[in-house]
Amino acid sequence: MQTKNMRILVTGAAGFLGSHLCDALLAEGHTVVGVDNLSTGSLANLEHLRAEPRFDFREQDICLPFEPGAVNFVFNFASPASPVDYMNLGIETLRVGSEGTRNALEIASRYGAGFLHASTSECYGDPKVHPQSEDYWGHVNPIGPRSVYDEAKRFSEALVMAYHRYRGVDTRLVRIFNTYGPRLQFNDGRVISNLMTQALRGEDLTVYGDGSQTRSFCYVSDEIDGILRLARSNEHLPVNIGNPIEWTILECAQEVLAVTGATCQIRYQPLPTDDPLQRRPDITRARTLLGWEPKIDLHTGLSLSLPYFQQSVSATAVQSSSRDQ
């Protein structure tokens, strides 16, 4: 990937990570074509780019062949990414991981463009190896409720590597671990969004199981930095980009209470089927190959995210009040 003056395609551009990626690419001086079918993305995430002449948004389902014109690089970020979304849109999630990824790869192949695919730590499933390094093949239930997402991403990784091996496409694979920050859907069922929203509404915080299951939370600016470093590298095999500091869900809930100042109680609920009990990236490859590691700790990242969640909760309350009148 060149350092400037590229024309870049970003699929899933109206999503949480996709919109932040568009911002970062534009800041580097590139021209960006963003596509999204808006099934889970939001135009509100791109509203600040409405008058940007180097940004071209197109409402497009990438599961259908499309033509963006000549591009130098493709970032494939189109997919439902939260449990609420991919369990409601199971078939659509499988399609975007297969047909959609293939269509994006065809564009890269056609124009000799570089290609970076957004994969996920869900490829490791409920891991039996801890922490998870890229050479671990995972422990995934192929027919469980999360399989529509897990297997879509595992298949898309195989498809990306096939286009690299058989078509010579210059590909990269990032395995993204839990990421949070502004523009994360406040009602999407992910840990941070759930806890922040409940705390700001004064509701009890929902913790599943006994709260001892672990996650590693990466602030969005760190995640985007790692992704861009990978895009500029020559690495074709998967690279974990995530924060290696491990938190129990209960510890995370307590940190949310500290940041928001809320005095809510913890409400325990049964652990969902196939919910991973532990998740932590081994980022040795990212450190060695990319010189990358996260800089922002959870407390700081939650504090940076707080105004966004406050605004989202407030706006929802106003809308609800208007409907009730």
- What are the catalytic residues? 149
Strand 214-215 and strand 247-248: the pairing is antiparallel
CB contact set of 185 (below 8 Å; sequence gap of 6+) = 16, 40, 42, 82, 193
Running DSSP on this structure, what letter comes out for residue 188?
S
Confirm if 117 and 174 have CB atoms less than 8 A apart: yes
d(CA 10, CA 238): 19
Tokens of residue 285, six digits:
């490859």
Q: Are 151 and 142 in contact, with CB atoms under 8 Å apart? A: yes
- Measured CA to CA, the distance from residue 17 to residue 21 in angstroms comes to 6
Helix (H) or strand (E) holding 282: none
- Segments in 126-219 forming alpha helices (H): 147-167, 191-201
Please give the Cα distance from 169 to 113 (Å, whole number). 7
First to last CA, the chain: 54
DSSP3 helix / strand / coil % (the chain, rounded to 5):
45, 20, 40
